[in-house]
Amino acid sequence: MLITFEGIDGSGKTTQISLLREKIEAFGRIVRVFREPGGTAVSEKIRLMLLDPEMDINPVSELLLFSAARSQLIASTVKPLLEQGAVVILDRFYDSTVAYQGYGRGAVALETLDRINTIASHGLEPDLTFYLKISRDTSKKRMQLDVSDRMEQSGDIFYQRVINGFDVLAAQLKRFRTVDAELDVALIHDQIWAQAREYLSR
Ligand code: TMP
């Protein structure tokens, strides 16, 4: 089973993923967690390039770098784990590419982006996607103490487009579960666990 988490920076994905992981393990399943971009030696190197504020990266190159990092992680690690029956949780997947590179940057047409995403993910699709929705203002407040990476320096208009992209995906795709991530951590976790447990019990 593949579970993905999506949302803009500061939406609390990391915290919610570790809480969910504990619950699924207590449920008796093996759980592996990876972040995108990252999770393999090649993908972590690509991540460093993508997030380095000194790097001037054109939108199409950016799209292809995120895709290259993904292809490596999925083929070398995620697919084999799923075949062994593990539950894999991804901190971001190709919905981030649609929201950030598609809606945010306008790197290529959305139909083209879908084809690239299918190639880079080796045809893999999530079973469940939790979209942790927060406003741009909340994201900025939560990220205040962090040093901005290259993506986070992209500005308010970019982030509004990204939020809109996630909202469109949430309205279109049945696997999406939108969670109000402005709420308290424990409340958010309860909602996520209720939905994941229902799926795991099927
Ligand atoms: P993270 O900070 O959540 O680990 O994600 C790294 C940054 O990369 C974040 O700003 C979102 C961005 N990103 C994209 O723009 N496209 C993608 O396909 C992915 C996976 C992440």
Q: Please, which pLDDT band fits residue 148 given cuts at 50, 70 and 90? A: confident
Q: What is the pLDDT of residue 16?
A: 98
Atom of ligand 1 nearest to the CA of 97: 18
CA distance 79 to 86: 10
Q: Tell me the pLDDT tens digit for each residue of 102-139.
A: 999 999 999 999 999 999 999 999 999 999 999 999 99
Mean pLDDT score, 7-28: 97
CA distance linking residue 63 with residue 19, whole number of Å: 30
Nearest CA to 1 out of 196, 143, 187, 134 is that of 196
Locate the ligand 1 atom nearest the alpha carbon of residue 70 and give its number.
20
pLDDT at 202 over 90: no
Give per-residue pLDDT as tens, 162-193.
999 999 999 999 999 999 999 999 999 999 99
- Rounded percentage of the chain residues whose pLDDT exceeds 90: 95
Is 160 a residue whose pLDDT tops 80? Answer: yes
pTM for this structure?
0.97
Distance (angstroms) between ligand 1 centre and the Cα of 201 equals: 31
Q: Which of 106, 88, 102 is nearest to 166 (CA)?
A: 102
Round to the nearest angstrom and report the end-to-end CA distance of the chain: 12
Cβ neighbours for 114, distance < 8 A, ≥ 6 positions apart: 98
What's the pLDDT at 12?
96
CA distance 143 to 25: 30
The alpha carbon of 50 and the centre of ligand 1 are apart by a number of angstroms equal to: 9
16 and 72 Cβ atoms separated by less than 8 Å: no
Our measurement of the distance from residue 76's CA atom to the centroid of its chain's CA atoms, rounded to an integer in Å, reads: 19
The number of the ligand 1 atom at minimal distance from the alpha carbon of 149 is: 10
Q: Ligand 1 centre from 62 Cα, in Å?
A: 11
Q: Which atom of ligand 1 is found nearest the CA of 151? A: 10
Helix H or strand E segment including 89: strand 87-91
Ligand 1: nearest atom to the Cα of 69: 20
**pLDDT of 144 higher than 90:** no
Name the amino acid, one letter, at 13. K
The secondary structure of the chain in percent helix, strand, coil, rounded to multiples of 5, reads 60, 15, 30
Ligand 1 pocket: which residues have CB below 6 Å? 9, 35-37, 66, 92, 96-97, 100-101, 151-152
Q: Where are the beta strands (DSSP E) in the chain?
A: 2-6, 31-35, 87-91, 128-133, 176-180
Between CA 92 and CA 115 the distance in angstroms is 18
How big is the chain by its Cα radius of gyration, in Å? 16
- pLDDT digit string, tens, across residues 35-44: 999 999 999 9
CA atoms of 158 and 148, how far apart (whole Å): 15
- Strand-pairing partners, residue 4, are 90, 129
Task: Report the percentage of the chain scoring pLDDT > 70.
Answer: 100
Residue 23 belongs to what H/E stretch? helix 13-26
Pocket test for ligand 1, best of 4, 92, 129, 153 (most atoms within 8 A of CB): 92
Q: Name which residue sits closest to atom 15 of ligand 1, judged by CA.
A: 100
- 48 vs 29: CA distance, rounded Å: 32
